[in-house]
Structure 1
């Protein structure tokens, strides 16, 4: 077999594989002989059907199958032996696909195009500067969290007419430009929380409604940003950002939540029986919980900043046209060309960071040993047991090891765990080598810094964010 490699513009290559008769003849003959043994045909004993008839019946298909196996195998063998940094998988070059005619051809040419990863280096040093935000919960934040908890554990009752601070459950129906329900438009049942609506005119229109009543509204006015609106209408964030339609909202049920009193029963529900015995103690615990949660969110913000910094700093080129075609082909009709165009920017960003991570690992000899994965999994199990109120120390080391080994024996679970360890090692290396300064900010200042990225942060953070005015 003759293999020729050609450059095809930036970050693309064309591989031509010329298959000669000697490359496939023996394998095709062997496969047809096996077919012959299995064929049952009237007038012939099993295994004695004439070979000419077998070839006539199955020859073309067997040849096509064997050619495909040989070509794909040799192609990947060539890529691996020549260390070609491919992105995605090879694609047959559509404009050079030639029909196969087994009756007249003995040699066949197959042409594939490859998308290539760019060559680059990543220097991580003190020249790379980042800020870690320290958020100390103040009294206002503690009160907001207590309000949220009191409502969450409060008494819910159904009522006939909506008032301020009520929650209205109903059906959202997208309208067309004439104000009619749009055929094939967005329809979803969701809840509007009146106390979170900032536009007083809109809030006034929603007060005094009863089940069965309908109003026309702008979903942007009854939600807190694109992510909140996406969840409310069961659409993607990108769809929410581009949505300009008005909606018909039909009331189905109205709920009033009476906040729970700050009493012992309330304290016990949240922190366990008799663990907290006064409002002062309760506030202290809430403040501690806030501090822990916001520290996690601050760490997440730092990691997002690190990722964005290196992606923008290196600005890696990608074979975009090839990758879009590859994504479309491998989706097998599950996504459209338009969806790929809309989502490609996010995909390309994720791919660039993956390339950067791999290069950092290569330059710094970062590896994951099986013992590390086992210890990491055991620790995850301990954390999960504690999270659900159990005592992790009650589980023996032997039991933990056995359970962790079973988890890692599952290929999908093992992949997730190795990816988590890998990502943490990359981040830890960057945090050690780069320059990170700490800066104290208020919760509201921090919320503004992460505006538009709320889906990446904790549920606690997002619940609090909704309670603050813009």
Structure 2
């Protein structure tokens, strides 16, 4: 066997593999004998089919398979031995050679490679970034307090509806003249008034009593097609095309009363005796809210670093090869989609190369326990959206293991840990300047 490499550009190469009969004959003969032992053919007992008979019937297909296996193994081993850093996968070059496939052929195959560029990551303390410390504004804080108090409150049925109530209703589709549409949509639905953004519609639903009727533009009221589809028990497609007004009849009004700020409430939230008054309660909620804001600040810092390093490191990629590789591996990808999406693909690939370089240069390890810890943190944050009380550690660990059994979840979490460790390394080198900022000002800044 003979394998050679020819550079065809700074970031492109062709690997030529020549295979002689001596390289594949033994593998083909073994495969034929193995198949003869397992074959069940008319006129022969199982395992007693002569290898010559198998060769006559299936010899060519076995030869093709064994040559392909040999090629794949040879190419993979060559790339590993030569320590070639390739992008994408090797692409077989189109050639006009006509092989006989009769066990006497000398085969020659060419594979095109896209090579990763060589570069150094330049980071120092001269690189300065702003690390925002976001403070909870009054509106966000009061909204969080209200939601928590309602979560632990009691349900009541007031006579008249208010803005935060839930209406149990009957909805009936109307014709253009205001009459009930024959064969139209009719459904019972629960409508949360705090989900209605249109102020005029919201006003029409406040102050209603049981059996009151109003006519509303239901699509404008609920806006989201998924919520509308669920309310009317129809498909999202039908919900998005709906134009009719609906008659709404109130069947019941529910209200979730806010829990009193007493010791029983504080103990349920934070454990017995941890908080003893409203001031302590507000302090705890402020810590929780600003802890959530910290994630927003970290996301912005990471994005600022990401954009800065990409701007500083302007190495090239084997773009033409990568475009052909994307087309070869995505049959449904159109030329238009490739043209529109390639720049984003190349940007993400460049960041991956920078990330991998940082990991390699600094011998950063990503351990299984790191991935489990990240999964636990993610699940804990999700549960805390519904209750400030943490899950027991053993239960959280069990959920994390179950979460990571899904391959997609495991891969995504691994990549998140990899990114986190990369940014931690970068932040340990660059200069971070802390700056306090109110949440509303941060949101404005983040939109720019």
Question: With structure 2 as the length reference, what TM-score do the two structures score?
Answer: 0.68
> What CA deviation, in whole Å up to 9, does each residue of 1:107-134 have, x standing for no partner?
2232322232222211111232210011
Alignment CA distance shift 1:269-1:355 (3 Å): same
Q: Which of structures 1 and 2 has the bigger CA Rg?
A: 2
Alignment CA distance shift 1:199-1:66 (3 Å): same
Alignment match, 2:358: 360
> What CA deviation, in whole Å up to 9, does each residue of 1:182-236 have, x standing for no partner?
xxxxxxxx998655666645756887897996545498xx5xxxxxx799799xx
Alignment match, 1:458: none
> What CA deviation, in whole Å up to 9, does each residue of 1:13-54 have, x standing for no partner?
333323222221222122223333444555557666555432
Q: Is 1:23 matched with 2:23?
A: yes
Within a 5 Å distance, the mapping from 1:279-298 to structure 2 comes to 279-298=278-297
Alignment CA distance shift 1:26-1:161 (3 Å): farther
Q: Is 1:438 matched with 2:434?
A: yes
Alignment match, 2:124: 125
> What CA deviation, in whole Å up to 9, does each residue of 1:323-349 have, x standing for no partner?
45545655687x888777776665544
CA contact under 8 A between 2:158 and 2:255: conserved in structure 1?
no
Of stretches 436-445 and 26-35 in structure 1, the one that deviates more from structure 2 is: 26-35
Alignment match, 1:260: 258
Q: CA deviation at 1:310?
A: 1.4
Alignment match, 1:314: 313
CA contact under 8 A between 1:131 and 1:302: conserved in structure 2?
yes
Runs of 5+ consecutive residues of structure 2 not aligned to the other structure: 170-188, 230-239, 381-387
Helix, strand or coil at the partner of 2:428: helix
Within a 5 Å distance, the mapping from 1:325-364 to structure 2 comes to 326=325, 330=329, 347-363=345-361
CA contact under 8 A between 1:37 and 1:47: conserved in structure 2?
yes
Q: CA deviation at 1:101?
A: 3.7
How many Å separate the matches in 2 of 1:446 and 1:102?
68
Of stretches 438-447 and 246-255 in structure 1, the one that deviates more from structure 2 is: 246-255
Alignment CA distance shift 1:206-1:111 (3 Å): farther
How many Å separate the matches in 2 of 1:215 and 1:312?
48
**Aligned-residue CA RMSD in angstroms?**
5.0
How many matched pairs?
A: 400
Alignment match, 1:137: 136
Helix, strand or coil at the partner of 1:450: helix
Alignment match, 2:303: 304
Runs of 5+ consecutive residues of structure 1 not aligned to the other structure: 171-189, 223-228, 235-244, 393-399, 453-470
> What CA deviation, in whole Å up to 9, does each residue of 1:109-160 have, x standing for no partner?
3232223222221111123221001123344442232123234445567999
Alignment CA distance shift 1:320-1:192 (3 Å): farther
Helix, strand or coil at the partner of 1:428: helix
